[in-house]
Chain A
Amino acid sequence: MLAGTLLLIGTLFIRNVMQQDVVRAEKIEWFSGYMQEVATQNRTDRQMLQETPLEELEQKLDVGVALQNQLNGLILSIENGAWEDELQQEIDVYLTAIDYKEVKGNYSFSNGDMDETIRLNEQLLLLGLPKEDIGRSVQPPLFIKQIVSLVLNPFGLTVLLVLLGTVITREFEDRNMQMVYTFPIPKWKYVFVKFTGLLLTGLIWLSVLFSASYLLPALTVESKELIFDYPLSLANGSFLDAGTYINEACIYSVGVLLFAIGVLTLVGFMARQTIISSVVILAVFAGGWMSIRNGMDLLWNPFTYVNVNEAIINHADYFPTGLIVLFGVAAVLLAIAMWGSRKRGVS
């Protein structure tokens, strides 16, 4: 499991390193596409103006030409690697694009997205930080965010639980528990010991996950100054700095792990069979995921936090109450598992 995690982190990091030049090329290609669109509209508007002079059309053409020039300037800034110019130019482009849309020009980018980008760029300029491609960054905090999004979600947790789940069920299937239950130890204690053991294993895994995600970029790539202040856009329109994001991600991960191990312990000790246990865990987490997708991402729903990245970005106001939910549900699950095994036989 640890080897797989390290392999995933290593592979993703190498991919990100290799994508750094591609990011710039893609940006140029992307803005060139917009520039082409605007240029085409401008050409059409000019022709129409020659045929029928209209004040509205003239206004649109004026804004369109300005937008085309700004896009051209933005592309040049990207090509030159002048990131401060790039950020400012992008702000200018979007401000003009919003005006352009007001005069009935077409620009395939929503006003909301452009607003958000403008605010982000302003924030970055204020901090003196270049813009990063969040999904392909090699900067430590942003790479951690990418790993958190990729691994700490319902799918990743289900894989983790199915792998860890055999620790409980195999001892029932191999009949080891038949022997263990004839020792002078209360049965609830076995449940608690298994829970603790699995939790420790999970915590080691989390430590490796976070440490490797931090160390790999930190040791191989030059970190930018103030990179832990990098602003991350939240769903409520505000920003969260990357350092705080990592802190919350670490704390939520522990909470989610507690909850997940609680589910695993309960299901493992009740089902006592690897296949049944795996199917139930899969069903539980699939059901949880579906509940979130259907608007049940409420404060009290522990599955709201299973996707750690989404919990932080979409529900900033749930922190830290969400942790109490996770800890509470985990404690209840553990208590049910301990109580349920109290008088139950094993053969």
Chain B
Amino acid sequence: MAVLAINNLSKSFKNHRVLDGITLTIDSPGIWALVGPNGVGKTTFLNILTNLSPADSGSVKLVGKSNKDYKVFKDVSFLQDNTVLFDYLTGYDHLKYVCDVHKLPSKRIQEVVQYVGMERYTKKTVGDYSLGMKQHLLLAMAIINEPKLLLLDEPLNGLDPTSAILMRKILGQLADKGTTIILSSHNLAEVDRVTKQILFLKDGKLLEEHMDSYEKVYYHIAVQDKPSVASLLTAKAFDFMETDKGFKVLLGSQDFQSLLDLLHQSGAYVKDLQKEITGSEKRYEELFEVGMV
């Protein structure tokens, strides 16, 4: 049984075709990122998947049932933007409500609260929540029923680093446990940290691509003795560029160990070393013809 089966889905607003005969099947756990520029229709696509908006034509099946059947939401959760929360209710009220709707025992609230790390503020009203707190609550509500399919609309938007790291970890764990996750985002750096499976939405069409072939791994190295390191990097044929504090080195045919050996050999004092993976950005540039003006 496919977790998500979309058949010839179309949607237009006046003369603008947002979704143009999309067909897609996902039948395994994992994380898929729905990527596209602002206004391309990512939220519309998710809203149609969950039947919040009607499609002009086509059909959607979620976990084997039509998306028009309310029972699909027993196994499907949709994390939307935080404006959907009731400002005058507490986080606990929201969780209790969802828990009751799913007929789950109350202890599940405690479990999920601890899991997403929101113990400190469950009794506060949502109106007093920060953006990160609201995202935590939305996530807790979305995962309380252990869904088979989790749809997330811009879940990483506006999160501070701590919250973003936590969110990424939780999504990774859920995918490992067997949840299929589709998250929309326009933050390509964040997308690359979460998944290599991308659904690019362009001109109403959905392009499913794996980013392995586009992936690049960079290391940002801050060193004291830049000239000696530069000469060694050149000698060992590393692809690199100079930065303010040191170098940005692309790992191509060489592996990370070779880079470490080189740094050791140079005897340079390494002040900082950070990894950066890019992949979707390159593909995005090609697809959406991003160019310098």
Contact = CB atoms under 8 A, between A and B. Distances in A.
Q: Do A and B come from one complex?
A: yes
Interface of A: 174-176, 178-179, 181-187, 343-347
> Which among A174, A182, A347 has the highest number of chain B CB atoms within 10 Å?
A182
B53 interface: yes
Contacts of B257: none
A176 B68 CA distance: 19
A347 B52 contact: yes
Contacts of A179: 80, 84-85
Contacts of A183: 73, 98, 101-102
Nearest to B83: A175
Contacts of B83: 174-175
B52 A181 contact: yes
B195 interface: no
Given A182-B77, A185-B101, A345 B47 contact: yes
A179 B142 CA distance: 10
Contact of B101 (A184, A187, A344): A184
A341 to B, nearest CB: 12
B210 interface: no
B71 interface: yes
5 contacts: A179-B84, A184-B74, A184-B102, A346-B53, A347-B47
B92 interface: no
Interface string B56-97: 000000000000101111101110100111110000000000
Nearest to B89: A176
Contacts of A347: 47, 52-53
Contacts of A346: 52-53
Nearest to B78: A182
Contacts of A344: 54
B47 A184 contact: no
B163 interface: no
Determine the main DSSP class of B at the interface with A.
mixed
A176 B84 contact: yes
A270 B70 CA distance: 20
Nearest to B44: A347
Given A182-B50, A185-B101, A175 B68 contact: no
Contacts of B68: 343
Interface of B: 47, 50-54, 68, 70-74, 76-78, 80, 83-87, 98, 101-102
A169 to B, nearest CB: 15
Contact of B52 (A174, A176, A182, A184): A182
Contacts of A181: 51-52
Contacts of B51: 181, 345
Given A183-B98, A184-B73, A345 B84 contact: no
Given A176-B84, A182-B52, 18 more contacts: A174-B86, A176-B85, A178-B80, A178-B84, A181-B51, A181-B52, A182-B50, A182-B77, A182-B80, A183-B73, A183-B101, A185-B101, A186-B70, A343-B68, A345-B47, A346-B52, A346-B53, A347-B52
A181 B51 CA distance: 9
Nearest to A181: B52
Contacts of B73: 182-184
B86 A176 contact: yes
A269 to B, nearest CB: 15
Contacts of A343: 54, 68
Contact of B70 (A176, A178, A185): A185
Among all A-B residue pairs, the 10 with the closest Cβ atoms? A179-B84, A184-B73, A182-B78, A184-B74, A345-B53, A347-B52, A183-B101, A178-B84, A345-B54, A347-B47
B51 to A, nearest CB: 7
A342 B98 CA distance: 21
A175 B102 contact: no
B86 A184 contact: no
B260 to A, nearest CB: 48
Nearest to B101: A183
Contact of A345 (B52, B72, B101): B52
Nearest to A188: B70
A29 B77 CA distance: 76
Contacts of B78: 182
B271 to A, nearest CB: 47
A186 to B, nearest CB: 5
A40 B151 CA distance: 92
A175 B80 CA distance: 10
Contacts of B80: 178-179, 182
Nearest to A184: B73
> Which among A174, A175, A181, A184 has the highest number of chain B CB atoms within 10 Å?
A184
Contacts of A174: 83, 86-87
Nearest to B77: A182
Contacts of A185: 70, 101
B47 A175 contact: no
Contacts of A186: 70
Given A176-B85, A178-B80, A182-B78, A187 B47 contact: no
A186 B72 CA distance: 11
A181 B73 CA distance: 9
